[in-house]
Amino acid sequence: MKILLLDKNHPLITEQLTAKAFSLVEDFTSSYDEVLAKIEGYDGIIIRSRIPVDQKFIEHAKNLKFIARVGAGMENIDVAFAQKSGIELISSPEGNRDAVAEQVLGMLLILMNRLFISSQEVKNGIWKREENRGEELLGKTVGLIGYGNMGKAVAKRLSGFGCKVIFHDILPNIADENATQVTLEILKKEADILSLHLPITDETHYLVNKKFISEMAKNFYFVNTARGKNVNTKDLVQAIKNGKVKGAALDVLEYEKSSFEKLDGENEDLQYLLNSEKVIVTPHIAGWTIESKEKLAQVIVDKILRKFPQS
């Protein structure tokens, strides 16, 4: 099988698949149209987010047997058309779930205990104790929306901090020893902290908006390591300003480019997030660790070899 790699990943992908008699070609610079012109010659592609795999792309890829994305989300792929075309879809959310979970925990500890703010103050000669009094995770109810690989990894860690962890998911009966499955209404009633762990779809676009936030019974902390467009930023900013959202930890923003390489433009709401003491913003790095880079790649290789064993 001939495979085209369109994004840089851990070298173990090339090493291990080549050892199993796959033919791999690396192309990290060609444009969408340039890839389109040659994709017919390949049996599989391995991608991250650089090139959108839309219907036009798939129609040109007449011999394509699989699309493997090194990561969790599949929003840069026309999943329905790929499946209709008989193409196997492979992703690797197992590879970075631990990294995501650790970032969620770290962001919450920093945000709720004002660690970054107080450290910067001390470095600038400012010594404030009462103003930097924090809140503990112990005893808090954490509501997760989405309970796949990421949600489960987060719940496992938070349960060790003495939190009550509840979650809402479209799949039924998936509770475990770390979290209790509840309706969305109950989650909104009980949660002190809300964390998103779901893909971006028509149903989840702007899921967290003015109406959703107003239906939360308590003032709450908010964490988003899923996708930026799960949240209406303007509504979130307003909720931070009026105190309904006590603080926000955002690893993703709706202003990111589809490739996640940088922010696309600036506006008043983005500037508020970047300047507010109640907000932590990181550059889409939850799941982006040294260890996860290798694990993501290994998961992809293992899945390809299971689906397409070579003689």
- If one counts every other C-beta atom within 10 angstroms of the C-beta of residue 290, the result is 9
How far apart are alpha carbons 17 and 13 in whole angstroms?
6
Q: Is 265 helix (H, G, I), strand (E, B) or coil?
A: coil
Q: How far is CA 148 from CA 46, 233, 240, in A?
A: 23, 24, 28
Q: At 73, is the pLDDT very low, low, confident or very high (cuts 50, 70, 90)? A: confident
Superfamily of chain region 96-281 = NAD(P)-binding Rossmann-like Domain (3.40.50.720)
Is the separation of the CB atoms in 24 and 301 below 8 Å? no
Please, what is the Cα angle at 52 between 4 and 144, to 5 degrees? 110
- Residue whose structure tokens are 């060609």: 30
Give pLDDT tens digits for 157-195. Answer: 999 999 999 999 999 999 999 999 999 999 999 999 999
For the chain, what are the domain ranges? 2-91, 96-281
Question: Above 70 in pLDDT, residue 259?
Answer: no
pTM, 2 dp? 0.93
Position 266 scores a pLDDT of 75
Give pLDDT tens digits for 83-126. Answer: 999 999 999 999 999 999 999 999 999 999 999 999 999 999 99
Question: Above 80 in pLDDT, residue 262?
Answer: no
Give pLDDT tens digits for 111-122. Answer: 999 999 999 999
What the block records as the tokens of 213 is 């936030």
Of these residues, 50, 69, 97, 284, which one is catalytic? 284
Mean per-residue pLDDT of the chain: 95
How far apart are alpha carbons 149 and 184 in whole angstroms?
19
Position 310 scores a pLDDT of 78
Give pLDDT tens digits for 170-179. Answer: 999 999 999 9
For the chain, what's the residue count? 311
Question: Above 80 in pLDDT, residue 206?
Answer: yes
Architecture of domain 2-91: 3-Layer(aba) Sandwich (3.40)
Q: Is 128 helix (H, G, I), strand (E, B) or coil?
A: coil
Of these residues, 256, 268, 294, 306, which one is catalytic? 256
Position 264 scores a pLDDT of 74
Q: At 311, is the pLDDT very low, low, confident or very high (cuts 50, 70, 90)? A: low
Of these residues, 10, 168, 227, 254, which one is catalytic? 227
* 284 noted as active-site residue: yes
Q: Do domains 2-91 and 96-281 have the same CATH topology?
A: yes
- Give me the phi and psi of 135, to 5 degrees please: -120, 145
Q: At 221, is the pLDDT very low, low, confident or very high (cuts 50, 70, 90)? A: very high
